[in-house]
Amino acid sequence: MTLAWTAKPGQMLEVDGVALEYACFGQPPGTLPTLVMLHEGLGCVALWRDVPQQLAAATGLGVFVYSRQGYGQSDSIGLPRPLDYMTREAEDVLGAVLNAAGMRDVILLGHSDGATIASIYAGSVSDMRVRGLILIAPHFFTEPTGLAAIRAAGQAFASGDMRHRLARHHKNVDAAFRGWHDAWTDPAFESWNVADAIDHLRVPVLAIQGRDDPYGTLAQLEEIDTRIYAPFESVILDNCGHAPHFEQPESTRDAIAEFCARLVRLEQENVALT
């Protein structure tokens, strides 16, 4: 199929028999890379709000966003999710999404679970289309404070207004929430660790994290810095929690735009030299 490059709501992309909602902003794939945005564990296309539009304007790149299976208006998924669901999403699904969407060169931009999926993909799948990674609040291993925050989210979903707020954006809110929450709070998940993906990254990486992120400490970024062999830069934002793109939008947008501009410039210089 030919992808309709449009921001019109309700667009669906079929990937291995699964319908995934998507939206596109800016220019379609061409000579410049496309930003492919991977949402957090409770996210979807709509919950990025206007961030894709802003990034398309700030970077001059095309932006492709989609909701993973079980989220937003995409097809639902059976529960419980396997505890290695992020690895499966990276190794079994993301490449097929990029193919179906007609992606050429891409910069993967992930938030939280999405950042982890992007890292696993770049570190385990040989895909020369991936030119760089932007990781917002990534996690590579569990931490007691993060697990406590997820358990607190479970209480808010059960007794607060969180369920109502999420139901406005997910057609199957229980699948979206339980698929994420129940995996992370499974006792067996406490030993989850995918940091070995960092060892195999060979593209430039930008990591952005709020200093007050309740779901992960700066140890996550320190793990990247310690293990990575590729160019790496980090931006740590004060007075910022788990969503820098909402809590510190200008600083986050500027860091992403500068990283993309530098990456494009280096790519073009390499082409000129060869």
Q: Where are the domains of the chain?
A: 11-273
Does residue 141 carry a pLDDT above 50?
A: yes
Confidence tier at 271 by pLDDT (50, 70, 90) = low
Q: 146: Cβ–Cβ under 8 A, 6 or more apart, which residues?
A: 139, 214, 215, 216, 217
Residue 272 banded pLDDT, cuts 50, 70, 90: low
**Span 11-273: which CATH code?**
3.40.50.1820
Indicate if the pLDDT at residue 113 is higher than 50: yes
Alpha-carbon span 264 to 225, nearest angstrom: 23
Average pLDDT, the chain: 96
This prediction's pTM? 0.97
pLDDT digits (tens, 9 = 90+) for 65-95: 999 999 999 999 999 999 999 999 999 999 9
Convert 205-254 into a string of H (helix), E (strand) and C (coil): EEEEEECCCCCCCCHHHHHHHHHCCCCEEEEEECCCCCCHHHHCHHHHHH
Query: Which regions of 58-161 does DSSP assign to beta strands (E)?
Result: 62-66, 106-111, 130-136
pLDDT over 50 at 138, yes or no: yes
Give residue 35's pLDDT.
98
**Quick one: pLDDT at residue 9?**
87
